Amino acid sequence: MRLPPENLDGYTLLLLGKDCRISLTDEKFVRYDTQNHRLYLPQANAKTRLVKWLKENAKRILTGVTQTKAQEMGVSFKSVTVTSAKTRWGSCSAENAVRYSFRLLYAPKEVIEYVVVHELSHVRHKNHSPRFWAEVATYCPAWKTHRDWLKRHGILMEIF
């Protein structure tokens, strides 16, 4: 994975774990072609428009996954917020407000689910005790593989 150049035309980024190629256009709106994994981005303010689009989609996707996993785990959370954090993929406050970096949208779905399970496990366990990790393992048996993916792809935190 490489950091983006100034001109984003032709740049490939990960989107839900799959290569997605950016094409700059004269269109007014961002458009994503799911079949060809191509993101059509207006040339004017391309980077700003891309980050806005990523944040909007991260909010929608992460809220949905959090609601589904919370129901599965039998926990409640206060809210889901998407941030621009570059040092952590997610967090859970003492009041059970869950925050995710929009950059989590770069990861494959199963890695996203691991981060969601990790944060929701903090609703019951406000630490990283053995009981916390046992809860994570209950709802995400392959959590170590997913955590390793995040460590190996830490450079993604630097993109946009």
pLDDT in tens for each of the 160 residues of the chain? 566 777 899 999 999 999 999 999 999 999 999 999 999 999 989 999 999 999 999 999 999 999 999 999 999 999 999 999 999 999 999 999 999 999 999 999 999 999 999 999 999 999 999 999 999 999 999 999 999 999 999 888 888 8
Question: Quick one: 54-158 is in which CATH superfamily?
Answer: Metalloproteases ("zincins"), catalytic domain (3.30.2010.10)
What are the residues whose beta carbons fall under 8 Å from the beta carbon of 42, sequence distance 6 or more? 24, 25, 26, 27, 28, 29, 30, 49
Q: How many CB atoms lie within 10 A of CB 52?
A: 13
DSSP state of 103: G
β-strand pairing of 12-15 with 79-83: unpaired
pLDDT value at residue 3: 64
Give residue 7's pLDDT: 85
105 CB-contact burial (10 Å; exposed 0-12 / middle 13-18 / buried 19+): buried
CB 131 within 8 A of CB 125: yes
Give the model's pLDDT for residue 2: 62
